[in-house]
Structure 1
Amino acid sequence: MDITSAGELWERVTGSQPDPALWLVIATAAAALAAVAPRPLWQVTRNAVTIAHEGGHGLVALLTGRRLDGIRLHSDTSGLTVSRGRPTGAGMILTAAAGYTAPSLLGLGGAWLLAAGHITALLWGATALLGAMLVMIRNAYGVLTVLLSGALFFCVSWLTGPEVQAAFAYGVVWFLLLGGVRPVFELQAKRRRYGRRGIPLGRMGEGGAPDSDADQLSRLTRVPAGLWIFFFHAVSLSSLIGGGRWLLGL
């Protein structure tokens, strides 16, 4: 990126870039699907979804006035966000509901930015969010994961040309949209498989039955966990359809 002044930098970030060719949009969608569908590869790429999931918990906790104590990310793709405040009420409900919806909603927001031609703004915005999240990480693996992710976004936005930036940005957004769908199905399957045996599974990312986000929301609201899972499905699938239409220019 050839920038000679702060004004040019601001114009570059906030300005619009040309839409990529349709074949590139379709190719990045195929690449994202390939990163989500095969189980062996998903065990690695799911770390990115966990970052978005825990980041969603943390951001909403702060926005609702809760005190964020820290976020931990683990190599088994599980994560934990700890916040302080009232154990009940709207703030706690919104914080608990933010995790499984965050990747899809981030993908939807990213699709909106890309449809408007703001490719560079998306890359810099993602870098800023990862930088802010890094401050709240409380374990070494989490620091390494978020630091490398932020460095990747920064390098692509600063060192590469428009074509590479477009391919990377579209790939990331497709991945969030597609990757936001699979964890909800995994949660539903694990609750069905283990819940009938009465086996507790732990927190989000570990497959949690009594301690999953859906079960925590059920205890907070007295709404069955199955309905919360339906809500997660509705958000993720609607975001995929809506975001996909934006990306494809339909």
Structure 2
Amino acid sequence: MDLLERLWTRATAEAPLPPAVVAGAAVVALVVVASPALWRPTRTAVTIAHEGAHGLAALATGRRLAGIRLHSDTSGLTVSAGRPTGPGMVLTCAAGYLGPALFGLGAAALLATGHAVGVLWAVLALLALLLLQIRNFFGLWAVLATGAVVAGVTAWLPAEGQAAFAAAVTWFLLLAAPRTVLELQSARRRRRAPDSDADQLARLTGLPALLWVGLFLLVDVAALALAAWWLLPR
């Protein structure tokens, strides 16, 4: 019980997060997302959030999660069992491209209330849950490596450093989400993604795939704008 109390105290501790640090973290995240050299090795983190969102949506809608795979080309696959059509399947399929932005928005809410350190502990908890569903070696390595980085930050950096890292992670998710949607549409335009989430949703609902791409982008940009309203000085 003492250990749990200490962990809870650390996870809920408030950490100073000056506006300049928040803005600096946003700039760092933007550079990472905009730079091809940096985007490629960090994109797997977005795939982790994408597939994790599929998995959470599957469980929330009563489907049985059968496993998650992450691949070295930054793609992924989440398999769930249940009705092949219907609202549960639609929500599960739609969650992927919305997940990183919504995770980022939730993290921004914690930052805005002074609980930046809690962002990192929430990430660790979600990674631990995801690890139980990973079904391939690369996915196992990717989740463990990501968790090790976050755990190292919580163990070795002071509260101010943890808060700055949490802000960078938050902005990275928020900025990366729209980019992945633009990449999706680019792949669709070149006919390289016939079974993308948007195309699966089109088959499930009868609505055009381009409409789903537009919805993904709208929600992701709205999440980014709302987080910026909460976090950036005005």
Say if 2:29 and 2:171, in contact at 8 Å, map to a contact too. Answer: yes
State the shift of 1:44 in Å.
1.2
State the TM-score, normalized to the length of structure 1: 0.89
1:32 to 18, 29, 32: 29
1:20-169 map, 5 Å: 20-169=17-166
1:203-222 map, 5 Å: 208=193, 210-222=194-206
Q: Does 1:172 align with 2:169?
A: yes
2:185 to 159, 183, 188: 188
Aligned-partner Cα distance in 1 for 2:155–2:187: 42
Q: Secondary structure at the match of 2:190?
A: helix
Aligned-partner Cα distance in 2 for 1:186–1:9: 39
- The aligned residue for residue 247 of structure 1 is 231
What residue identity is the alignment partner of 2:200?
Answer: Q
Say if 1:115 and 1:249, in contact at 8 Å, map to a contact too. Answer: no
Aligned-partner Cα distance in 2 for 1:7–1:51: 29
Deviation per CA, 1:97-135: give whole Å up to 9, x if none.
000000000000100010001112111111010011011
Aligned-partner Cα distance in 2 for 1:9–1:48: 25
Say if 2:107 and 2:170, in contact at 8 Å, map to a contact too. Answer: yes
State the shift of 1:26 in Å.
1.4
Q: Secondary structure at the match of 1:180?
A: helix
2:218 to 234, 239, 245: 234
Aligned-partner Cα distance in 1 for 2:129–2:10: 22
Aligned-partner Cα distance in 2 for 1:153–1:40: 22
Where do 5+ consecutive residues of structure 2 fail to align? Answer: none
Identity of aligned residues (%): 55
Say if 1:67 and 1:85, in contact at 8 Å, map to a contact too. Answer: yes
State the TM-score, normalized to the length of structure 2: 0.95
Aligned-partner Cα distance in 1 for 2:52–2:3: 32
Deviation per CA, 1:87-106: give whole Å up to 9, x if none.
00111000000000000000
Aligned-partner Cα distance in 1 for 2:215–2:86: 19
The number of residue pairs the alignment matches comes to 233
What residue identity is the alignment partner of 1:248?
Answer: L
More helix by share: 2
| More deviation, 62-71/91-100 | 62-71
Aligned-partner Cα distance in 2 for 1:40–1:14: 35
The RMSD of aligned alpha carbons is: 1.4
